[in-house]
Every structure is written in structure tokens, then in C-alpha cells.
A and B are shown apart, each in its own frame.
Chain A
Amino acid sequence: MSNQINLISRKREKLFNRDFLLRFTEFLARTLLLLIIVFSIGLFILNKSGRLPVLQQQDHSITTNLSLVQQKIIKFLLIKNRLEEINPLMQNRSKIETLAVTVSQGIPSTIAVDSFSLTKGTLSLAVSSSSLPSIDAFLDFMLDKVKNKELFKKITITRFINDAQNGKYSLALQITLL
């Protein structure tokens, strides 16, 4: 009769069976205890036997060796520092020489340079000659430089004198450099 009115199924009855629960709890406790012991020992060994102390020793040794050659390194860094400073100087300084060479190349032997003045990006040039075609050739040469955008940005003729008594032509130019 009592069996007939028991509503809990056999399976569920077995699940909540006291002996089963006890065995399960004991098993769980043993397993957990074992895992804790294994993990503790394993992690302890892993943490203690790491490569870190060896690496720290290696680091210290290399740093000591580096300090012995520090003088050489400082010299090297100073050389690099100077070169960084020198580089822009070397690149910029050739302009005036190029300018002098260019201007002198365009001046025929029949033309005399009376004055050549370069100040803050402006070149003032005065030439004279007894030959008008020579003056013309020089002027053409200079104008070509402006057209080709070589060195000169703008040329202004500030003076042109025909000295008939001495048979001499004088030309003064003001040139804005690029």
C-alpha cells in the first residue's frame, strides 16, 4: 500500500538516497583535496624553477659589460649628433658657389663686372662692355635662367647707360634669387 502511494520515482529516490549522497560527497572531497595538493605543488615548482633568476643574472652581466664600453658608445652617439647637425649645413651651403659659377659662366670675356653684391637673397650686378651684342648675349643668358627657373626668380634692369664718349655700355641688374 505504502509503495503504491509513494509519488517519488525510483530513480529520483536513488538520487536522493543518503548513502549515494554520502559517497558522492566523500568522492568530491577526496578529488578536490587531491587537485589542490597537485596544483599547489605543481605551481610552487613552476614558480620556483622559472627562468627569471637566470635572466636577471644575464641582464646584470650584460649591463655590467655595457658599462665598460659606455665611453665608446657615448663617442658614437656624439658623432651621430654632430652628423645630424652637419647634414643641413652641407646641403644648403653650395648655393652661393653655384651662383658665382653660373654668373661668371654667362659673362663673356668682353664684359667687365663692375660690381656684384649679394645680400639677403638679392643679387645686384653691374657690368659694362664696349660691345652691345655681348651685353645682349649676357642678358639673354640671365633671362634664360629665369625662364628655366634656375637660381633666379626675377630680374629687374635698374640701369642701362650708353656712354657714347667712351664707347661703353653699362648695365645694372637686380636679381631676386629662388
Chain B
Amino acid sequence: MNSLAFLNRTRFRIYFYRYKPFGVPLVVIFICVILFISVIIPQIQQWIAMQKEIAISEERINVLTKNLTFANKINNTAADKYLRLVTKALPVNKDFVNILAAINDAAIDASVPLNDYVFLVGSLSDETKNIRNTLPVTITITGGLPEVKRFIASLKNQLPLSEITDIQITSTVSTLTIAFYYKPFPEKVSFQPTRPLQNLTQKERFLIESLISIDISSRRSALSIQEQLVEQ
């Protein structure tokens, strides 16, 4: 046992003196490896993550800039007028005043004597927010098919928008049921700055032009919109 211990000590000394100069470089290599794993690799990962973040940020700024440019092009005065027009076409609630005015104006335009009308008002408070509602109005006019035809043509050029759902015509008196549409604004109109704003489509522009022509052709408070909603 003792002889083995002597041999080991001797061997250790030999190795120690023989490999002593390797100590410092090996320690340096070891520290470098540790530093590479604990510092360099995380820094590289951080750099890659940052590059991704920069790309996302640039994309976001691009959309934000486009949205800002678009928003600056919106003509505020025209937007007010357009909003009034579309709300007049499809009111947010049961717009009795405009409905009566539309019926009256249609009768005057068509030269049709209006006898009486009945509103099926329904609930005034419990309105469903998400569906398009109708307010049925039954009117009686003096006249037959030609008068009804004129009245329908004239009512088509009135706002709020309506649809005739029932017609009963005799040779002297005709009864029409007209459904006037209304729909409340969505409870939450959210604008997400990162979602690109889309300009009005061709179809929507055409629709607005149709509404303007209807409104102008009606005798009441024509909006006469001259400005464009979004400047070019």
C-alpha cells in the first residue's frame, strides 16, 4: 500500500512538472468555452431576436404611416355630411319624423292623395343591436294601380330606405305596407392602428352616389355633397 502511495506521489510530481506549462492555456481555453456558452451565444440570440423585432416594428410603422396618411386625407366636413347621409338612409332608430316626411313627399311628388296611415311601432327600447330592424307602416291611398305605381316610384327616391312588402289595390283605394329599415350603430367601433384602412370600394362609391342622387331628388334638405370623402 505504502509502496503504491510512493509511486503515485512520484508519478504525480513527474506529471505536474511535465505538464505545468499547459495549465494556464487550458484554463484560458476552459474560460473561453464557458464565456462562449454563457455570453456569446445569448448575445447572438438577442441579436437575432432584435432583428426580428426590427422587422416587425418596420412593418407596423409602415402600416401606421399609411393609416396616418389616409386619415389625413379624410375630409372631415365631407365625412360629417356622408355620415349624416348614410344615417338618414338607414337610421339608427325608428326615425318617425323622416319616415312621415318621406311618405308625405312621395305622395306629393306622385300627386297621390294620402288617406291615412298606421304605424306598427313595436317596442321602443328593446332593440336588437346586431340585426337590421324594420318599422312597418301601412298607408292607404286613393287610386288604383297607376297611382300606386307613381307612389312606389316616388318613394324609391326618398330616404330613409324602405321596401314595400304588401300591396292591396282596388280600383279606387289601395293599401300599401311599407317596411322602413333602421339599425343601431355597432356597440363598439374599434379602430386598430395596425390594421390597414381601406378606402371606399368602387361599389361603395357608387352606392354613395346613388344615395346622394336620391337625397338631392327629394325635396327635403338635400345634402348636396360636393367634396370627396377621401382626397386623392
User: Which residues of A are at the interface with B, using a C-beta cutoff of 8 A?
Assistant: 18, 21-22, 25-26, 28-30, 32-33, 35-36, 39-40, 43-44, 46-47, 50-52, 55-56, 58-59, 62-63, 65-66, 69-70, 72-83, 85-87, 89-90, 92-94, 96-97, 100-101, 103-104, 107, 112-119
Closest A residue to B183 by CB, please name it: A85
Which one of B44-52, B113-121, B215-223 is at the interface?
Answer: B44-52
Least CB separation from A31: chain B residue: B32
**Residues 88-106 of B at the A interface (beta carbon under 8 Å):** 89-90
Q: Which residues of A contact B72 (CB under 8 A)?
A: 69
Q: When the two chains form their complex, are residues A56 and B28 in contact, meaning their CB atoms are under 8 A apart?
A: no
**B interface, over-half SS:** helix
Q: How far is the CB of B102 from chain A (nearest CB, A)?
A: 13
Q: Which residues of A contact B203 (CB under 8 A)?
A: 87
Q: Which residues of chain B from 24 to 79 have a CB within 8 Å of any chain A CB?
A: 24-26, 28-29, 32-33, 35-36, 39-40, 43-44, 46-47, 50, 53-54, 57-58, 60-61, 64-65, 67-68, 71-72, 74, 76, 79
**What's the Cα separation between A117 and B166 when bound, in Å?**
7
- B22 contacts A79, CB within 8 Å? no
A74 and B193 CA atoms in complex are apart in Å by 12
B25 touching A82 by the CB < 8 A rule? no
